[in-house]
Structure 1
Amino acid sequence: MLSFFKPARRILKGVALGLAGLALTACVPAGSNGPTISTSAPVPVALLVPKGSSNSGDELLAQSLENAAKLAIADLNGVKIDLRVYPTGGNPSTAQAAAVQAVNEGAKIIIGPVFAEAANAAAKAVASRNINVMSFSNNTSIAGGNLFVLGPTFHNSADRLVGYAKRTGKERIMVVYAQNQAGTLGKAAIDAAITRHRAQSAGAVSYQFSQEGVIAAVSQIKLAADNNQVDALFLTSNTSGALPLMTQMLPEAGLSPATTQFIGLSRWDIPSQTLELPGVQNGWFALPDPALTQQFQNRYAQAYGGLPHPIGGLAYDGIAAIGALVKAGKSDALTTGALTQGAGFQGVNGIFRLHTDGTNERGLAVATIRDKKVVIIDPAPQSFGGAGF
């Protein structure tokens, strides 16, 4: 039986990963912030991981990130990376010191840390040194300046799903969100996507983040959906939060997924027990290309004897991007202008690109759940078109 309302973790769970090569283009735009490098010599790259933490889960994550980075380096044809690993203990002060040490020892770019506060501290510590930081965080509130976030964001999922909903005639979208930070940020991402795709906002209903709060909100959600002629209900909750109870009670109240499209901001296939829930059947959610996910997991298992951590592949992405830019042979390969090239990169999570505001854009597939199995209904894109969001 699924547990309900688990305490929030510091990192995003359930990020699917996949295997791929280097950049989609060898073109390196004129740079801005960032160091000058010699592309004919090994490029010193610092990898900041939460090793040394008292949390055993952080130790496993740290090792997975390091392993994935080494796999990426092995795939770089003709590019030499001098990878240097620094432990952060999962805390900001150690991350700050590690970033300074890394740059003092010659690092030209930093990949990591994982947690938002640590990433922010590390980036601030080396900003005056003209060094960019590609963190594994998915918290866009820290992004900007010399700090980029590689983690999958609410904006990625919301944009992909709202765009698909609009194209398939599900234009009137109502948001249901928890009265907490994650819920508020999720709602903001969905609202932005509705505006961008010129869909129609059909209102929003919030609820207290508790079992009682969900139960109290169900009738209000049903009433608002009826009054606003809602085509789609966009839920920000995940499996460890309100999703199981919400998707059980809404159909019982008469809001059927057969007539109103349920859409999830989180992954509805993780944990796998979620697929068993009657209320999520035929719902939509976004995820990376499952074929790439399986390919990377198989390769990682062959190399290291186990599966990677759910966000371990982000280290591969960081190295892949650096390697592709260095391969172009330009001394400004690690500047902001180069890192934010419009064509983006190919990593184990599929295509991705970084924006000048420090956020990222990832190519995601749209999936549904049929007979307790994941079915892709709109494949992940293979390249970026246009300027992105």
Structure 2
Amino acid sequence: MAQAPRSRGVVVPAVLICTTALSGCVGTDRVARKRPPPAPVAVAEAPLEPAAGPALAGERIGSGSVKVALVVPLTGQGASVGAALRNAAQLAYDEGQQPDLTLLVEDDGGTPAGAASATERSLKAGADLVLGPLFAGNVRAASVPARAAGKPMIAFSTDVGVASRGIYLLSFLPQPEVSRIVEEEVASGRRSFAALIPETAYGNAVEAQFREAVTNRGARVAAIERYPAGAPGEAVKRLSGVITGPRATADVLFIPETADGLPAVAAALTGAGFSPAKVRPVGTAPWNEPALFALPALQGGRFAAPDRGGFAGFSARYQARFGAIPPRVASLAYDAVMLSATLTRQFGTQRFAEPTLTSASGFAGLDGTFRFSPEGTSDRALAVYEIRNNAVSVVSPAPRVLGKPGLAAVAPQ
């Protein structure tokens, strides 16, 4: 995870798409087509034991022959998120139909040095795959011993700069979200895009993808204005001739902001006379926050994000087991463990080989279909949501199958 935006989910009514056990939650499309979708897993009739307390470095989950490391912060920076990732991994193991795995839980202390040491310990203990770390700098440090040992890593950072061959990111990357929302708007007939982009790491990450996505789909970038984090007023004024008034030249306004920063942007837009009925505001997964849905400037706005159905079921089961609401990223550890179990069961000695991990058909997880590229980034099947009347609804569901390999954009079903 880059130390950047939070992407929190919204609790909306949704169809449960992935609360299934191992065979239905993570697996190749080839396997899924051979049988109808499995029924949702029922929560155990007998109450599950509560969490035993914070995990310690060196903890082992399971006793299978295939060893997989889980390197997360259990102390230091990010410890609360790391504990949730550990719990989600435990839940996946318990629901995984007795997978032939041993999870080696290692604490990286929230630091690059700690991540490198934790990874080295797990590799010496026989790990064939490393899940984690969470932060970009920790992934970069941990990748050194992983590469030296010739073992792949599935990390949880959102910084594509740390992805590379053998170092895969199973995370909510902003680039596919940008491509998905631009594609949806072009498909609806809109051709002129303006953008208000914060001068942050997140803004830097999405600007190039925004320009590329608009150009590749035959649309035009009417104007882009950048602004200091938390101070969008002057940028809105500079953009006013493009997005306000009877002669507005844009029909879409792209705002890649975090949930914390979006209210200030919305207020500045409203103050400048912006009408979302004339120029549609669009964004990415950080918009998926209930507190934002009443902002006048966002009514009719749209954003791309993972389908909420699978996470809703996972969250309910997590709360029943651990007595707490999981952070949004906890599903990543669940999917990573389920993926490890499925590949171990289906592919034998080739379970973690590059051709297996980079299968073009991808895998079905809690948050929808995903796949890894050979360069380490990931594509996701994303839904498009619309904000209306202080709530959200799906206007374009996440597809079950991803499009052409290598393209982040996904055509709706």
Residue 81 of structure 1 deviates from its aligned partner by 1.2
Distance 1:111 1:178 in 2: 31
Choose the corresponding residue for 1:197, options 203, 217, 221. 217
Letter aligned with residue 370 of structure 2: F
Contact kept in structure 2, 1:52 and 1:87, CA below 8 Å: yes
**1:237 and 2:257 are equivalent in the alignment:** yes
Residue 245 of structure 1 deviates from its aligned partner by 2.2
**1:131 and 2:151 are equivalent in the alignment:** yes
Distance 1:292 1:302 in 2: 16
Q: Deviations over 1:173-227 (max 9, x none)?
A: 122112232212121121222233333222211122242xx11122211123467
Choose the corresponding residue for 1:13, options 1, 6, 18. 6
**1:264 and 2:283 are equivalent in the alignment:** yes
**1:25 and 2:26 are equivalent in the alignment:** no
Choose the corresponding residue for 2:208, options 188, 204, 207. 188
Contact kept in structure 2, 1:112 and 1:119, CA below 8 Å: yes
- CA pair 60-90 structure 1, distance change in 2 beyond 3 A: same
Match of 1:339 in 2: 357
Distance 2:199 2:324 in 1: 38
Q: Deviations over 1:16-50 (max 9, x none)?
A: 496451213368xxxxxxxxxxxxx6210000010
Task: Choose 126-135 or 188-197, whichever is displaced more.
Answer: 188-197
Residue 140 of structure 1 deviates from its aligned partner by 0.2
Equivalent position SS for 1:237: coil
Distance 2:347 2:268 in 1: 58
**1:73 and 2:66 are equivalent in the alignment:** no
Q: Give matches, 1:1-389, under 5 Å.
A: 10=3, 12-16=5-9, 19-20=19-20, 21-25=25-29, 42-53=65-76, 55=77, 58-77=78-97, 79-211=99-231, 214-225=232-243, 229-241=249-261, 243-270=262-289, 272-389=290-407
Q: Deviations over 1:102-144 (max 9, x none)?
A: 1111000000010000011001222021111111101001110
- CA pair 381-50 structure 1, distance change in 2 beyond 3 A: same
Distance 1:325 1:263 in 2: 37
CA root-mean-square deviation: 2.1
Distance 1:257 1:292 in 2: 31
Distance 1:299 1:198 in 2: 44
Contact kept in structure 2, 1:340 and 1:354, CA below 8 Å: yes
Letter aligned with residue 197 of structure 1: R
Equivalent position SS for 1:66: helix
Equivalent position SS for 2:287: coil
Uncovered stretches (5+) of structure 1, i.e. residues with no partner: 1-7, 28-40
Distance 1:387 1:259 in 2: 35
Letter aligned with residue 10 of structure 1: Q
Task: Choose 72-81 or 114-123, whichever is displaced more.
Answer: 72-81
Residue 284 of structure 1 deviates from its aligned partner by 0.6
Match of 2:41 in 1: none
Residue 91 of structure 1 deviates from its aligned partner by 0.2
Equivalent position SS for 1:346: strand
Equivalent position SS for 1:276: coil
Equivalent position SS for 2:74: coil
Match of 1:4 in 2: none
Distance 1:215 1:130 in 2: 50
Distance 1:81 1:240 in 2: 40
Choose between structure 1 and 2 for higher RCO, CA contacts under 8 A separated by at least 6 residues.
Answer: 1
Among the aligned pairs, what percent are the same residue?
A: 27
- CA pair 9-116 structure 1, distance change in 2 beyond 3 A: closer
Residue 307 of structure 1 deviates from its aligned partner by 1.4
Residue 95 of structure 1 deviates from its aligned partner by 0.4
How many pairs align?
A: 362
Q: Deviations over 1:300-328 (max 9, x none)?
A: 11222221122111001111222222222
Distance 2:329 2:287 in 1: 17
Residue 388 of structure 1 deviates from its aligned partner by 4.1
Letter aligned with residue 70 of structure 1: Q
TM-score (norm 1): 0.87
Contact kept in structure 2, 1:23 and 1:345, CA below 8 Å: yes
Distance 1:228 1:202 in 2: 10
